[in-house]
Amino acid sequence: MAKTASEVQNLEQARRAEERLLSEMAEHGYGEAATFAVRLGVEEGLNNALRYGARSSGDQPVRITYEVDDQSVRVRISDGGEGFNPELVPDPTLDENLEKPTGRGIMLMRAYMDEVVFNEKGNEVCMVKRKR
């Protein structure tokens, strides 16, 4: 399983990296549901890293690294930002948070990916989707 790494600085570059990942998944026979889940997780992770992490780090590039094999897809997204504590992000499903624009991306990543782990600093997320 070879690792593929890209540095992205904007949404257009992020989409190109995402398309390369999805193409590699297709080569390994991943189905529609797994492809949807990975697309959603990667989009949310990259959007958050570009919106919050890269801006707080002086627009340093966001790094995406992934590995695809016949059993799983592993994605790591990191930025040079200050990080955050994902446990302190308000639950977007609670009534008092329904109007707040934060927390949905993390909720979606956790709902669709099999594993979602943030590093201690909170500026890197590792996600895994297993082939079923």
How large is the average pLDDT for residues 30-53?
95
Q: What is the pTM of this model?
A: 0.91
User: How far is 103 from 128, CA to CA, in rounded Å?
Assistant: 20
Kindly state the average pLDDT of the residues 38-56: 89
pLDDT at 102: 78
Statement: residue 72 has pLDDT above 90: yes
What's the mean pLDDT in 119-124?
A: 95
Please report the pLDDT score of residue 30 as a whole number: 97
Query: Mean pLDDT throughout 42-67?
Result: 87
- Matching residue, tokens 């992205």: 8
Provide the CA 15 distance to its chain's centre, in angstroms: 12
Residue 56, pLDDT score: 63
Q: Which two tokens stand for residue 14?
A: 């992020």
Euclidean distance between CA atoms 23 and 97, whole angstroms: 36
Residue with tokens 């996600």: 127
Q: What is the pLDDT of residue 23?
A: 97
**Residues 4/66, Cβ–Cβ less than 8 Å:** yes
List the domains of the chain with CATH numbers.
3-130 (3.30.565.10)
Q: Span 114-125, mean pLDDT? A: 96
Q: Averaged over 83-97, what is the pLDDT?
A: 86
pLDDT of residue 57: 63
